[in-house]
Amino acid sequence: MSSRWTDPLERFGRFWILSAEIADRGLLRPMRGQFPRLSEIIRSVDRMGVGSIPIVVLICSFVGMILAMQTAYQLSKFGATLYVASLVSVSVVRELGPLITAILVSGRVGAGVAAELGTMAVSEEITALRTMALNPVKILLVPRVIGLVISLPILTLIGDAVAILGGLLIGWVYLHLPPALFYKVAVEGLVMKDVLTGFAKSVIFAILIGLIACYKGYSVRGGAVGVGTATTETVVVSIVAIILADLLFTALFYFAI
């Protein structure tokens, strides 16, 4: 068989082998008392999560405003502008909050992780760890994936809140809806299932971004070009994976549950 067909298969296989090792060291071994280093996880959460708060706040507040204006444009025809509040809250919490935050994080954090690990691979730092009898998956990859799994759901909650606030601002200034009323309608429009599905989505997106970025960075070969390619591919593949997972997840909740 030509390598054109076998190479993608081989890469796919390697991705799952590495993912299984990350799952083993990040999930199964901690259950048996072998924990990854807490200081590394805290450092990852600080760099990935805390560092992403400004961009998430900025973009999600704009998305909330845009959503409020677009829905108000339609709902005002029916004299139902009050429902802008619940429309914004439900669509943000169920869908746009997790999705936009994940896409932002894949660009900011996923690309960063791939570039960092790729540079370490090229400069033989990862090989150096192995020669010191240290496991690079345990030391470098697991803390980053766990850091993302902790950070992204929290960032999503922050993103949800500021998006609703953005909508509230438009409702107040443009539609003359009192903030207290907007807040009441927005919260009443939500049910626990909306919050839980949004949260579950953000966890799945975090795992996807973490695994893809780690795999792409960890398997870099070929110098600066390799690092550049890995970074680009991380963002592209992460976004495709996020949207695909979102579609499957939404379909599952829509049809089955």
Q: How long, in residues, is the chain?
A: 257
Nearer to another protein, 132 or 256 (CB): 132
Question: x/- binding map, residues 2-31, to another protein, per CB under 8 A?
Answer: ------------------------------
Residue 25 CB, nearest approach to another protein (Å) = 13
Residue 39 CB, nearest approach to another protein (Å) = 11
Nearer to another protein, 70 or 123 (CB): 123
Binding footprint of another protein, residue count (CB under 8 A): 12
Residues 233, 95: Cα–Cα separation, whole Å: 24
Nearer to another protein, 125 or 188 (CB): 125
Nearest alpha-carbon partner for 84 in 63, 67, 99: 67
Q: Scanning residues 216 to 245, which ones bind another protein (CB under 8 A)?
A: none
Do 101 and 152 meet the contact criterion of CB atoms below 8 Å apart? yes
Compute, in degrees rounded to 10, the torsion defined by CA atoms 180, 185, 190, 191: 100
Residue 171 CB, nearest approach to another protein (Å) = 46
Question: x/- binding map, residues 121-140, to another protein, per CB under 8 A?
Answer: --xxx-xx-xxxxx------
| Residue span binding another protein (CB under 8 A) among the ranges 56-64, 119-127, 167-175, 233-241 | 119-127
Residues 76, 69: Cα–Cα separation, whole Å: 10
Residue 146 CB, nearest approach to another protein (Å) = 18
- The verdict on 119 binding another protein (CB under 8 A) reads yes
- The verdict on 1 binding another protein (CB under 8 A) reads no
Q: Which two tokens stand for residue 23?
A: 């799952």
Q: Which two tokens stand for residue 235?
A: 């963002």
Residues 51, 158: Cα–Cα separation, whole Å: 13
Residue 216 CB, nearest approach to another protein (Å) = 19
- The verdict on 202 binding another protein (CB under 8 A) reads no
H/E stretch holding 163 reads: helix 142-173
Nearest alpha-carbon partner for 175 in 78, 84, 96: 84
Residues 93, 141: Cα–Cα separation, whole Å: 30
Q: Give the CA angle between residues 59, 83, 102 to the nearest 5°.
A: 25
Residue 119 CB, nearest approach to another protein (Å) = 8
Note the residues at the interface with another protein (CB under 8 A): 119-120, 123-125, 127-128, 130-134
